[in-house]
Each structure stands twice: as structure tokens, then as C-alpha cells.
Amino acid sequence: MRIFKTVGLLVLLAIFIAFPQVFPNPAVTTIAIFALMFAAATTGWNIFSGYTGYISLGHAAYFGLGAYALALICQHWNIPGGYVPFMLVPVAGLAAAIFAIPLGWISLRVRRHTFVVITIAMFFIFQLLAYNLTDITNGSIGLGLPIPITWGGVFFNYPFYYVILAILLVTIAISWWVRNSKYGLGLLAIRDDEDRALGLGVKTGPSKLTAFVISAFIVGMVGAVWAYYVESIYPPTAFDATFDVALALMAFLGGLGTISGPILGALLLETTQQYFTLQFDSPGYYLIAYGGLFLIVILLLPRGVIPTLSGRWAKYQIARQQGRQERATLVPVLPTPGGGADSVERKEGINL
């Protein structure tokens, strides 16, 4: 089984690496780049919100901070377009992470609903600052980023594609490591019962804050790549309220707190969204379609695709094994599917 899994993952990786070569059409690679950006950002978001259960609806603030950080660095040092701005992407992510330390410390003093609402409020503070600090951010006129003039035609998308793919892989590695470490177990314990986790010796405060800063760092890096890709940024696009909710929706769609769930959710949803945008010229139809999709996903698949599917698969396996055992006239001692399985599953989270 393990070999199958490894081979499957390698094949998947090969498909992702070969994708722009197979479909060199810029329209397709553009959608792929946006989908990968959201996959990386959602996975980063999931490291904090999925594992700890603290749903943040303010990560667009770190996306915007990353974007503005890269734009300001490039402007300040007159960095030309090319590969250099990519080197500065981690610096931009770091800037977002530094901002996340005090903000996380403040907002993590509260829990549940109040936490959600505080993250929203903080996001709006940053949007307002981007509008109002005209000396730094240029206000609503926005900032421009260096344009890589030498990358023409089909080639233009390639560097962005591979850079964002690399960020996604790093993010998945971090997410996987967190999920399989003692530190990650602490985060999951916080999700299940924070006070009990504290009683059992999990350092809840520093754990939550670290996860928050890590996810802000990743989202900030994605914001920086996004800014370089779209070439000019404005307060409402860099600090976008729908981005906040998009991350949460993608994670919910795929399966909150799993490793593959957010990636799947982002790839599915972002491609559909790009398709809707291309399909409908009026923003009205697009909003209605997107909102409708939202409602359908949440009402029909409240647990997400991955947990629903793997739950089904586990039940099927148990049923099959029991059938086999009955044929072999052994005494059926395996626990029956259903029953209390649901609550156990939710607590453990499914690690795929």
C-alpha cells in the first residue's frame, strides 16, 4: 500500500511539473497559476485554522501585507523585472509574519466567534491603512511592480508557475510535518478542548501563536508572488474581503484540518471561479453563481470532500472484511460501522 501511495504522489507531482508543457496556452496556465496560489494559501491557512479550530477570516491582511512588502522593496531599491523579485518573496512573507506576531497575540486572547470577528476587524484596519497611508502605499492609486520585459509570450507564465508550485510543495511539507509532529498533536488537542489541552501540558498560547505566524508567512509569500504576477496592486485587490472567505470555503470544501483537503478544495473552486469570471461578463451573474455554489457546498458537504469520501471508503472496507470473515465462518468480532464512529472521526481528523 505504501508503495502505491508513493508512486501515486510521484505521478501526481510529475503531472503538475509537466502541466505547462502539455498545455502551453497562456489562458490555461494563467488559471493554473491562480489555482496553485490558492492551493498554497489555503494549505497555509489550514495549518493554523484547520489544525487549531480557530477560524481566521482575516488572512487577506497578510496576503496584502506580502504584496505591499514586495512592491515597496522593489520600488525602494529599483529592482528590475526578472528573477530577483522571486528571491525577495520570502522576505515579503517574513514581513507579513512579523506583523502577524503582535496581531496574533492580540486576537488569540479571545476564542470562537469573537476571534473570527476580530480577525475580520483587523483585516479592515489594514485595508483602511492601505487606502489612507498615502505616503507609503500611494492610496487608491496603487503601486506598480517591476515588469519582466524579457519574458515574452508563452514563456511568461512558466517562471511564475514553477515558483508558486515550489511554494506549494514547501507548504505541503510544512503542513505534513506539523500534522505528524508532537507540536501538531498539541494543535489538534487545542481544537478538541483547549482547556484540557492546557491542563495536559500543551503550551497553548505559544503553540497557537506559532501556527498563526507560520500561516501568515505562507499567505504573505503567496501574496507577494500574486503581486508580482498581476504587476500592479490596489488596496481593494490586495486586501480583498472575498479572499478571506475563499480560503475558508476552499478548506471547508476539501476537508478542514486534513492535508490534501485544502489543496483539492482550492484546485476545484478556483478553477470554477475563474471559469465563471470568463463566462459571465456582468459581475452580478458571477456573484450569484459563486454565492449559490457556496450554499450548495456547505449545505450538502458540510464535512468536506476528503473526510466524506474517506469515511465512506473506511466503512466499505470494514463491510467487505466482515463479509469475507463471515464466508470463512469466523466469529465476527470487528466493530460494526456507524455507531460512534462519527465522533471519533471528527476528533481525530483524517490524515490522507
Partner 1 sequence: MFSLIIEGIILGILTGGVYALMASGLTLVFGVMDIINVGQGALVILGAYLSYFLEQRLHIDLFLGLLLTMPFMFGLGLLIEILFIRPIKRDRTMLSILVTFGIALIIEGIVNLIFTADNVKLQAWYVTASFKVGGFYLAYIYVFGFLLAVVLLGGLYWLLYRTKFGYGLRASMQNRTAAELIGINVERVSAITFGIGIALAAAGGMAYGATNAFNAGSAYDLISRLLAIIIFGGMGSLPGALIAAVGMLVVEDVTSVIWSPVWASTVFFILLVIILLLRPQGLLGKLEARKQ
Binding segment (CB under 8 A) for partner 1, from list 109-117, 208-216, 259-267, 324-332:
109-117
Q: H or E segment at 144?
A: strand 143-144
Site string for partner 1, 176-195 (x = CB under 8 A): -----------------x-x
In the complex with partner 1, the residue whose CB is nearer, 130 or 168, is 130
Find the binder of partner 1 among 149, 295, 328, 333 (CB under 8 A): 295
Q: What's the min distance (Å) between Cβ of 202 and partner 1?
A: 16
184-192 contact pairs (CB < 8 A, 24+): 184/51, 187/51, 187/52, 187/211, 188/51, 188/257, 188/349, 190/52, 190/53, 191/51, 191/52, 191/53, 191/257, 192/53, 192/347
Q: Is 270 exposed, middle or buried (0-12, 13-18, 19+ CB in 10 A)?
A: buried
> Which cell numbers in the block locate residue 324?
469475507
Q: How far apart are CA 59 and CA 64, in angstroms?
A: 9
Match 488559471 to its residue by C-alpha cell: 31
Of the candidate residues 13, 15, 200, 298, the single one contacting partner 1 (CB under 8 A): 298
Backbone angles phi, psi at 144, to 5 degrees: -105, 155
Backbone angles phi, psi at 142, to 5 degrees: 85, 180
Binding positions for partner 1, 7-46, rule CB under 8 A: none
29 versus 56: smaller Cβ distance to partner 1: 56
Closest CB to partner 1 among residues 60, 92? 60
Q: Which C-beta is closer to partner 1: that of 86 or that of 234?
A: 234
* Number of C-beta neighbours around residue 251 at 10 A: 25
- Of residues 124 and 158, the one with the C-beta less far from partner 1: 124
Contact 269, 251 (CB under 8 A): no
Stretch that binds partner 1, among 68-76, 79-87, 121-129, 166-174 (CB under 8 A): 121-129
Cβ-based nearer residue to partner 1, 172 or 264: 264
| Interface pattern 133-172 for partner 1 (x via CB under 8 A) | ----------------------------------------
Q: Which residues sit at the interface with partner 1, rule CB under 8 A?
A: 55, 57, 106, 109-114, 116-118, 120-122, 124-125, 128-129, 131-132, 193, 195, 241-242, 245, 248-249, 252, 282-295, 298-299, 302-303, 346
